[in-house]
Amino acid sequence: MSLKGHSVTIILSVVLATLISTELIIPNQTCLNYLTSLSLKTFSSSPILSIFFNPFSFNSHHHHQNHRNKKKTGASICDNFAPNFPTIDTTTTSILCVDTNGCCNFTTVQSAVDAVGVFSRKRTIIWINTGIYFEKVMVPRTKVNITFQGQGFESTAIVWNDNANSSHGTFYSGSVQVFAPNFIAKNISFMNVAPMPGPGVVGAQAVAIRIAGDQSAFWGCGFFGAQDTLHDDRGRHYFKDCFIQGSIDFIFGNGKSLYENCRLISIANPVPVGVRIINGAITAHGRASSDENSGFAFVNCSVGGTGRVWLGRAWRPFSRVIFAYTSLSAIISPEGWNDFNDPTRDQ
């Protein structure tokens, strides 16, 4: 999705974006920790109350059995590790643990996903400890009934930096891609920190998560990016108490989805008073036929941030989006919607 001719500016500095490029995904350890914390703070318009990330481990061994990193004193950094696992019925549910320090069975989210049985009838909770996980994660169609359980959307995040150019298309740029049905995520953020383009640059769309499996649900999650942040691709999806941030078409796709009590925050460039310019859009729904039973419904949500934006653009001829009982700030353009220069889509 693109918005040609309109200026889009990201809050994240050019220096930060350059340093977190694909070529420098594993820089100096101290530098990486600083940039990670800075990136999350910069992308979030709400204060990060207190984030203390553990030191990051980027070795080639992703599957560990109680690996213990030792301090110089001989004490283990895992000695005080006490995960707050939910109480489960082991006949219907299993738990896998992910921690960057090696205090769990896995140090990466993808390695935990890979360990889940094919078409498992059990629900697998992948408990993800506080931290930033720099990796591109894919949940294939065969890994059904998975839950990503983070420790808060301001303290646990999966981050990558692909864009449409680097990944051979917008649809494949997602930091996380979910193709399996019955996926659940709780209290975790999905981020794409790809370098941002100047106005008119082609191929800079950068998806934080693509959801292409049916019956997915997200509680208390964060979605951080700019252009095309949340790819609500297809299937029935539910979002509750989530924080969704972007600039252009940052909730897009052909999903049949309900968003309840979510905060939608535009980071489009501020528009001076008196200047008549639109530089962003909240949604771009992709319903191509009147026979398709899809659409986005936003209920009891709030829309704020910066720029002057449309509630949505009619990406396809029968795009369908509803905002109900939702607080809209002054950033919304008075006309509300854009028909993609096709008046037949005004219905």
Give the active site residues. 249
Which of 233, 240, 184 minimizes the C-alpha distance to 211?
233
| Number of other residues whose CB lies within 10 A of the CB of residue 10 | 22
Query: In this structure, what token pair is assigned to residue 255?
Result: 């999903």
The helices-and-strands tally (H runs, E runs) of the chain is 3, 25
Which of 193, 106, 178 minimizes the C-alpha distance to 147?
178
Report in angstroms the alpha-carbon separations of 253 from 154, 190, 283.
25, 17, 9
Element (H, E) at 149: strand 146-149
**Alpha-carbon distance 174 to 232, whole Å?**
11
Place of tokens 């498992």: 120
- Give CA angle at 267 (261, 269), nearest 5°: 145
Per-residue three-class SS string for 159-201: EECCCCCCCCCHHHCCCEEECCCCCEEECCEEEECCCCCCCCC
Query: In this structure, what token pair is assigned to residue 100?
Result: 């960057």
Which of 321, 285, 277 minimizes the C-alpha distance to 301?
321
Please list, in sequence order, all residues whose beta carbon lies within 8 angstroms of the beta carbon of residue 118, skipping any fewer than 6 positions away.
142, 143
**Alpha-carbon distance 263 to 332, whole Å?**
14
**Alpha-carbon distance 318 to 28, whole Å?**
49
Rounded to a whole number of angstroms, the CA Rg of the chain reads 20
Go through the chain and tell me how many residues it has: 347
How distant is the alpha carbon of residue 233 from its chain centre?
13
